[in-house]
Amino acid sequence: MSDALTMASRRPDSVMMNAPTATPAAMAELTEAPFVVHRPGATTRSPLVFASPHSGRHYPPDMMAASLLDSAAIRLSEDAYVDELILGATAHGAAVIAAAYARAYIDVNREPYELDATMFEDELPDFARGRSARVAAGLGSIARIVAEGQEIYARKLTFAEARRRIELVHQPYHDALAALLAQARAAFGVAVLIDWHSMPAAAARTYGQSGDLGARAGMSGAGVCDLVLGDRFGTACAPAITTLVERELEAMGYRVARNAPYAGGYTTEFYGKPAARTHALQIEINRGLYLDEASLEPREGYTRLKRDLERVFAALAEGVARGVA
């Protein structure tokens, strides 16, 4: 399967956007742009902004030199191919932003300085936020582990290393995302952010019920949830948007859960302010539907899922056009 991010960088309708806080000299240090933005045609634009923060596939050499893991094991936390699954949303008026750097390098779905002090050889500044459930789990903005609890690093990092990743990747990503949302509000009076993720099949097996798509795909367990909609328990997104997506997915046979086990991460919480005309909904896709989780290669269900998601994109575009947000 082609690398959508590599291909996108050559497309005339893909726009690389750099943060104004990063100097040209600093940006020159990067071997890859922090992200890519795919824009819809001028006549099809809508208030929709789709994001894929965890599908990045770039692991810089300095990270790999400090890692205990090989090039296969370190990828286990990726939301593999999610950026490609959602790319068709541009045909329905959505702008799509996808991170290029791996979440194991810098997780843009975290507060920027959500750091684990035990990972660093020097003392962290007072503004670093080390007391969070995500940091305790080893999944701060600089992750300590990948899936299945495997430690990433063979040595302590320095705060300078973390700050470089935050300033050159995390900040530009969020500057661009904020700009896309501001453009949507300016043009349409509202912005609707859908933050797309994938979840390990094992994380979803206690949700849903037998007979759903996951079970029919041959996945074990008494019940499997196919997708989780996280709207921070109704605070980040208008209920009508969440319900629209839920109904569309269930009409196609998918088993959908709300806010468990994922209620929405940093991006959903930070940007989801309905009173300020910005709605944010996180969608987690069960990897078992489309991915071989050992090889990270697409499985037979990939084509069907991509086609079904196109129906969701169309329904969302129609819904926001008629004012559900």
Would you say residue 135 lies in a domain? no
- pLDDT tens track for 265-312: 999 999 999 999 999 999 999 999 999 999 999 999 999 999 999 999
Going by C-alpha positions, the residue among 178, 135, 203 that lies closest to residue 280 is 178
- Please state the φ and ψ torsions of residue 279, each to the nearest 5 degrees: -105, 145
Q: What is the pLDDT of residue 18?
A: 35
Q: Exposure pattern of 182-206 as b/e (b: 16+ CB <10 Å)?
A: ebbeeebebbbbbbbbbbbbbbbbe
pLDDT average, residue stretch 56-65: 96
Where residue 139 falls among pLDDT bands split at 50, 70, 90?
very high
Q: What does the pLDDT average to over 110-136?
A: 95
- Residue 294: CB atoms within 10 A of its CB come to 8
Q: How far apart are CA 270 and CA 200, in angstroms?
A: 24
Mean pLDDT score, 207-219: 43
Asked whether residue 218 carries a pLDDT value surpassing 80, the answer given is no
User: Considering the domain boundaries, does residue 145 fall inside one?
Assistant: no
Q: Which helix (H) or strand (E) holds 7?
A: helix 4-8
Higher-confidence residue of 197 and 28: namely: 197
Domain assignment of residue 119, yes or no? no
Residue 9 lies in a domain: yes
- pTM (2 d.p.): 0.88
The residue-averaged pLDDT of 135-160 equals: 95
Whether 99 is covered by a domain: the verdict is yes
Per-residue pLDDT band at 260 (split at 50, 70, 90)? very high
Predicted confidence at residue 219, as pLDDT, reads 40
Q: Residue 118 above 70 pLDDT? A: yes
pLDDT, residue 130, reads: 86
- pLDDT for 217 equals 42
> What is the span of the domain harbouring residue 280?
4-105+165-321
> 92-101, 208-217, 262-271, 283-292 — which is least confidently predicted?
208-217
In a domain, 125, yes or no: no
Asked whether the predicted pLDDT for residue 13 surpasses 70, the reply is: no
CA dihedral in degrees (316, 242, 250, 302; nearest 10)? 60
Predicted confidence at residue 29, as pLDDT, reads: 66
For residue 152, is it within any domain?
no
In angstroms, the CA 282 to CA 86 distance is: 13
Higher pLDDT, 248 or 21: 248
Distance between CA atoms of residues 197 and 233, nearest Å:
18
Question: Is residue 207 very low, low, confident or very high in pLDDT (cuts 50, 70, 90)?
Answer: low
CA–CA separation, 181 and 174 (whole Å): 10
The answer to whether the bond into 261 is cis (omega within 30° of 0) is: yes
Helix (H) or strand (E) holding 50: strand 48-52
Q: What is the mean pLDDT of the chain?
A: 88
CATH code, domain carrying 276: 3.40.630.40
Give how many domains the chain has, as a whole number. 1
At 28-57, the pLDDT tens digits run 567 789 999 999 998 889 999 999 999 999
Please indicate, yes or no, if residue 150 is contained in any of the structural domains.
Answer: no
